[in-house]
Amino acid sequence: MIPSLMPTYNRADIAFERGEGAWLFTSDGRRFLDFGAGIATSSLGHGHPHLTCAIAEQASRVMHVSNLYRVPQAERLAARLVDASFADSVFFCNSGAEANEGMVKLIRRAMHGLGQPARTRILCFEGAFHGRTLAMLAATGNAKYLEGFGEPVAGFDHVPLGNLNAVRNAITPHTAGIIVEPIQGEGGVRTCDPRFLRELRTACDEYGLFLGFDEVQCGMGRTGRLFAHEWAEVRPDVVSSAKGIGGGFPLGAILATEEVARHLTPGSHGTTFGGNPLACAAGNAVLDVVLAPGFLDGVGCLGDQLAEQLGGLVADNRDIFAGVRGRGLLLGLECVASNAALQAACLEEGLLVVAAAQNVLRLAPPLVITQADVDEAITRLQRAAARLRRQ
């Protein structure tokens, strides 16, 4: 008989009752070091006092009012994101897929507003993951996810990541923009060469296209900068955000330059929940921590440290691991053994990690971890490798 909770996930048979920092606890007293962070989402870890107080306090005042009225928490969050980024204006929604849908709508609408309504197609990359709505499945382009859902939504073309010639060859008079993850998360923690991102900007300028970055997974401080594209010093037109922006509370955002954003006029796009007082109170609390002086530098340093120690782990276990990739606290362990078997062995050793494509084991811990957490994760990974070897 089908479970009452629709079985769309192969869930591990474990449930957490409570969390503290980078640790999660079960009701029978077991504890797990969380280096998955709810898939790069619990950016402040679990039970962070500033975030939980902000949510509780806002919930007791007013949670939801609709976007028919001013929402001061959203105005403040948008202003802070604008101050801290390339963007001139922000639209709030509830998830990564929704932010990406909005990003595509924004790009198409801007082309329409600029008198080029035939330019609707978006160039995406092989290995991408942009979400599970019908249009974002088409943008993702992965046959496995598209199977059984009928004709893919039209308007998306795909080329290999990092191949500028392929990008240029794929641009047609119908192309409106390019969307890329500066680091592909689900795709295997594949980091775009900064030069490639800059070359995309050049191509967009040359052909009059908009450049969109999907920073749902790699953004909001995860690489040691607020947004991962900042490392490449490249100016986007639109960026999507979600996951870490609410620290575990559902929140997404589309950040855009005025040139693009001005085309979304009243009535052209909307949401019931997006940017409500509760979600934006969470977003503001996350920003209080992430934008505090020195925090992002700390994330970068700890990421470097983790990468270095993972390098040592790889050297000690060449039969299990092949290398390290990624940036900041979005790192991937390239596996020789099966990443799924390793993920299971890590769970046995009390370490939560997340498998990704290309046989990679993804580490995306809360941004508030300490050196002691890093050392503990390495110890548990060593044990997981030994466990796998014994099996």
Q: What residue ranges bind ligand PLP (CB under 6 A)? A: 39, 95-97, 100, 129-131, 181, 185-186, 214, 216-217, 242
Both tokens of residue 58? Answer: 């806002």
Minimal distance, residue 20 CB to ligand PLP, in Å: 25
- Give 181 or 349: the residue with its C-beta nearer to ligand PLP: 181
Minimal distance, residue 86 CB to ligand PLP, in Å: 18
- Give 220 or 264: the residue with its C-beta nearer to ligand PLP: 220
- Residues contacting 388, CB < 8 A, separation 6+: 320, 337, 341, 342, 345
Amino acid at 146: L
Minimal distance, residue 363 CB to ligand PLP, in Å: 15
- Give 108 or 130: the residue with its C-beta nearer to ligand PLP: 130
- Give 33 or 97: the residue with its C-beta nearer to ligand PLP: 97
Minimal distance, residue 303 CB to ligand PLP, in Å: 18
Minimal distance, residue 217 CB to ligand PLP, in Å: 4
Burial of 35 (0-12, 13-18, 19+ CB in 10 A): buried
- Give 44 or 183: the residue with its C-beta nearer to ligand PLP: 183
Minimal distance, residue 245 CB to ligand PLP, in Å: 10
Minimal distance, residue 132 CB to ligand PLP, in Å: 6
- Residues contacting 178, CB < 8 A, separation 6+: 122, 123, 124, 167, 200, 203, 204, 209, 210, 211, 212
* In the complex, residue closest to ligand PLP by CB: 96
- Give 184 or 359: the residue with its C-beta nearer to ligand PLP: 184
- Give 224 or 248: the residue with its C-beta nearer to ligand PLP: 248
**What is the layout of strands, in order, in the sheet containing 175-180?**
89-93, 252-256, 238-241, 210-214, 175-180, 121-125, 156-159
